[in-house]
Structure 1
Amino acid sequence: MFGWRHPEFRRGAREIAGILPGIGAWGMITGVAMIKAGLSVPAAMAMTLLVYAGSAQLAALPLLVAGAPVWVIWATAFCVNLRFVIFSAQWRPYFAPFPRAERARMAYFSGDLNYILFMRRFPEPVPSPEQKPYFWGGAISNWFAWQIPSIAGILLADVIPTEWGIGFAGTLALIGLACSLLGSRSSLVAAGVAGCAAVAAYALPLRLNILVAIAAAVAIGLLMDRSRPGPATPVGGSR
């Protein structure tokens, strides 16, 4: 099902390996934070295994501590994870032919790093047999790199102080990988606009500044694509 023996599976695992220590640190501090926020060990275990979304988990924890209404917690997690709608739309040309159950499994295991590395490996949206094992090689590696330290953080929360700030290593890993992909003028401009929009809208509730940043980046990207001159029509060519 996963293509364990395919060379692209090993390539996917290998290319994500350098970033996994940062993801592991982020997972551990998230596990610690869940216990420090007052969740029981079973509840924290269920959250890390079922939710599997570090940014959404960390965004929801202060609301849980504050006793916020359930709809506010759900709305916050939904807003933080809306970026996966964009990821899914980008992945659709590659994975649309797969059965729905398989696409659902891929949706659960998908992550920011999987998306970035996959798009760098397969920039053209044309399905090929190598794409599925490459996806699973990175996705499964990422899953274990997150879950094992997260569970360790849950079980060892009393001896790992949150003041260490080791979760920031995951953020640094994402920033480093994202910067390595900024190889064109349009991607640089979109990243700059997104960063400025996120900072300008930081005061918005429910982490809505993330949505503002995504919307701004998409808008400037579409604007630059439309303003780019298309290929010239040959003389005498059809319209």
Structure 2
Amino acid sequence: MSPRGRLGAWLAHKVDAYARTARHPLFWVGAREMAGISVGLTAWAFMTGVAMIKSGMSITEAVLMSLLVFAGSAQLAAIPLIAAGAPLWVILATAFCVNLRFVVFSLHLRDYFMFLPRTQRLYLGYFTGDVTYVLYTRRFPKPAETETQRRAQMAYLWGGNVSNWVFWQTLSMLGIFLGNALPARWGLEFAGTLALLAVACSLATTQLRALSALIAAAAAVALYGLPYRLNIVSAIAVAVAICLFIEPKVLARQSRAEGEPPGDRP
């Protein structure tokens, strides 16, 4: 087969695989659940687009940054540095530090996706954002054990990813093309923060999870003065360390309570 024929066969195989994923019922479940949160996130995306234009970027530069970076917090951290003419290594280091939380996410998701080729894991990482990660791990606390379960989990994740990407890019592009016609600050970026906060609160379903959230929040505020938003990563580390220390004690107490007759409990 000629190189052109092999390329055509490869593309046909990929299109068929993605079509099967899109036809899976959980694909649309993931898309709908993500869409329900996207109102706040798209306001954040809109303000990110506006910020890029207001910083002096051309429309072409802003569009490329939105498509290639696809990380609102990293973009907002890098934009003032770009506008100030900071060295490239400073811009990259800042964006890396702001997005260090995705290293934690990746470690958690490693067991879910190790069956995929490296290339697929790389572009899956590009599409997976904070909220899609949260929704996915809430629905699937453990990795799949069978091929059928893997397909279901992948369909749900891709549904959320596609929905998130389309909403984000659409509003980001609107912000880019309308940015010069809008006031510098409308306060819409706070809507994205509220949306993320709502998702985080929905995960606090146990006392230990609620405690870890409170510890992380307190640590993030206490360490707010750290550069490059390292307070976020530090807060995660503090919460994980403390909860790893107390989790065995909590589980042991619960086991003892469940093993005792109701009348013997204090």
Aligned pairs for 1:17-32 (under 5 A) are 17-32=35-50
Q: Show the counterpart of 2:22.
A: 4
Given the alignment, which residue of 195, 207, 212 partners 1:185?
207
Q: Report what 2:5 is aligned to.
A: none
State which of 85, 109, 117 in structure 1 corresponds to 2:103.
85
CA offset at residue 183 of structure 1? 0.9
Letter in 1 for 2:103: V
Instruction: Tell me the TM-score normalized by structure 1.
Output: 0.92
- Report the alpha carbon displacement of residue 203 of structure 1 after superposing the two structures with TM: 1.1
Q: Equivalents in 2 of 1:66, 1:200: separation in Å?
A: 28
> Cα RMSD (Å) of the superposition?
1.5
In structure 2, the partner of 1:237 is none
Give 1:229 deviation, angstroms.
4.7
Are the counterparts in 2 of residues 29 and 162 from structure 1 also a CA contact under 8 Å? no
Residue 205 in structure 1 maps to residue 227 in structure 2 = yes
Q: Secondary structure at the match of 2:79?
A: helix
C-alpha separation in 1, matches of 2:166 and 2:128 = 13
Q: Distance in 2 between matches of 1:227 and 1:82?
A: 30
Aligned counterpart, 2:124 = 106
Cα-to-partner distance string for 1:111-161 (whole Å, 9 max, x where unaligned): 001111001111123342210000000000000010011011111111122
Unaligned runs of 5+ in 2: 1-16, 257-266
Distance 1:39 1:210 in 2: 28
Structure 1 unaligned spans of 5+: 233-239
The equivalent position to 1:139 in structure 2, one of 161, 168, 175, is: 161
Which of residues 87, 92, 96 in structure 2 aligns to 1:69?
87
Task: State how far apart, in whole Å, the 2-side matches of 1:39 and 1:221 are.
Answer: 44
Q: Deviations over 1:88-115 (max 9, x none)?
A: 1111111110111211121110000111
| Bigger share in helix | 2
For 1:32, give the aligned amino acid. Answer: V
Say if 1:198 and 1:210, in contact at 8 Å, map to a contact too: yes
Greater C-alpha Rg: 2
Partner in structure 2 of residue 120 of structure 1: 138
Q: Is 1:60 aligned with 2:59?
A: no
Q: Do the aligned residues in 1 keep the contact of 2:144 with 2:153 (CA within 8 Å)?
A: no
8 Å contact kept, 1:8–1:134: yes
CA distance in 2, matches of 1:162, 1:53: 21
SS state of the match for residue 216, structure 1? helix
- What TM-score do you get using the length of structure 2 for normalisation? 0.83
C-alpha separation between the residues in 2 aligned to 1:120 and 1:205? 31
Partner residue, 2:174: 152
**Which amino acid in the other structure matches residue 6 of structure 1?**
H
- In structure 2, distance between residues paired with 1:47 and 1:84: 19
Asked if 1:169 corresponds to 2:191, the answer is yes
- The amino acid that maps onto 1:8 is L
- One-letter amino acid matched to 1:179: C
Bigger shift: residues 206-215 or 218-227: 218-227
Once the 2 structures are TM-superposed, how far is the Cα of residue 23 of structure 1 from its aligned partner?
Answer: 1.3
Question: What is the letter of the counterpart of residue 119 of structure 1?
Answer: T
| C-alpha spacing 1:204/1:6, structure 2 compared with 1 (3 Å) | same
Aligned residues: 232
